[in-house]
Amino acid sequence: MHPLVNIAVRAARRAGNVILRNLNRVDALTVVEKGRNDFVTEVDRAAEAEIIATVQRSYPTHGFLAEESGSTSPDAEYVWIVDPLDGTTNFLHGFPQFCVSMAAQYRGKIEHAVVYDPWRQEIFTASRGDGAYLDGRRIRVTKAKTLEGTLIGTGFPYRENLHYLDPYLAMFRAVSMKAAGLRRPGSAALDLAYVAAGRTDGFWELGLSPWDTAAGWLLIQEAGGMVGTLTGGEYQLGPHVVAGGPKVYEALIAEIAPHLTDELRR
């Protein structure tokens, strides 16, 4: 395992421990809505601080792009793209589907990825050119040739992405006519890791952030899959993402493309 991945695994496990420790406290706080939201921010921040401190202890010059603290030393050779708690809504409800996501960029290119599911204690890792792994065992995307019989992950638009709901529902209708099933687990980084592991055949979602997709992107590429834009263009950490094994990826683009608005095409 590459030394950077080793450190990232350590950091992600520590963040995961922060998250799990606080999961019990969420139950006690379900009464006050505002309190709950503040509390999540607190957990996010604590997990993120743990990650940054762990990486910086070994690599003091590395920069970060993290969901809570934003961008620090963006011009550093190595920049970590970090989501300390992906699946916040799930976490808040005690719905056990959330993760820690970390990707290491070297001169702008993602080279290493770690996604950690603290509930199941599953660790997904990848380094460019070295394959993708789940708990140290090699993983691969599925070999499905068409959407028939496939299980496809997705995410519904919400909050500031609600204006995508109509085109999204048209895509949803088209894909559900062909696939065996659709799932909306609620943690994009983990959803992408599941594509890499062959647990789902493909995935698409609109309106994501770089820290939701950076690690999953490399995991899927190293697992033999494809990640791209809604028009099948090269993915560059933009908000809309389609992913899958090569054939399923193409099939998803074919179902999605007819429903794109001008905004979604960009």
Contact residues: ligand 2AM, CB under 6 A: 83, 86-88, 155, 159-160, 186-188, 207-209, 212
Residue 187 interacts, among ligand 2AM, Ca ion, none and using kind-specific CB cut-offs from 5 to 8 Å, with ligand 2AM
CB of residue 188 to ligand 2AM, shortest distance in Å:
3
Closest CA to 46 of 100, 98, 4: 100
Cα(156)–Cα(252) distance, rounded to whole angstroms? 16
Closest CA to 223 of 117, 115, 67, 77: 115
Q: For Ca ion, which residue of 48, 50, 86, 205 counts as binding (CB under 5 A)?
A: 86
Q: Which is nearer to ligand 2AM, 216 or 228 (CB)?
A: 216
Among left, alpha and beta (phi > 0; psi -120 to 50; other), residue 26 is alpha
Cα(36)–Cα(30) distance, rounded to whole angstroms? 7
Q: Which is nearer to Ca ion, 86 or 222 (CB)?
A: 86
Alpha carbon 84 to its chain centroid, in Å, reads 11
SS3 211: helix
CB of residue 264 to Ca ion, shortest distance in Å:
20
Q: Which is nearer to ligand 2AM, 3 or 94 (CB)?
A: 94
CB of residue 27 to ligand 2AM, shortest distance in Å:
19
> Cα separations (Å) of 218 from 89, 110, 131, 260?
25, 7, 9, 26
Q: Which is nearer to Ca ion, 202 or 216 (CB)?
A: 216
The answer to whether residues 87 and 98 touch, using CB atoms and an 8 Å cutoff, is yes
Q: Is 212 in the site for Ca ion (CB under 5 A)?
A: yes
Q: Which of residues 64-83 bind Ca ion (CB under 5 A)?
A: 83
Q: Is 48 in the site for Ca ion (CB under 5 A)?
A: no
The answer to whether residues 80 and 63 touch, using CB atoms and an 8 Å cutoff, is yes
Q: Which is nearer to ligand 2AM, 15 or 144 (CB)?
A: 15
Structure tokens at 164: 């995508």
Structure tokens at 209: 């952030």
Residue 142 interacts, among Ca ion, ligand 2AM, none and using kind-specific CB cut-offs from 5 to 8 Å, with none
CB of residue 67 to ligand 2AM, shortest distance in Å:
6
Binding site for Ca ion (CB under 5 A): 83, 86, 212
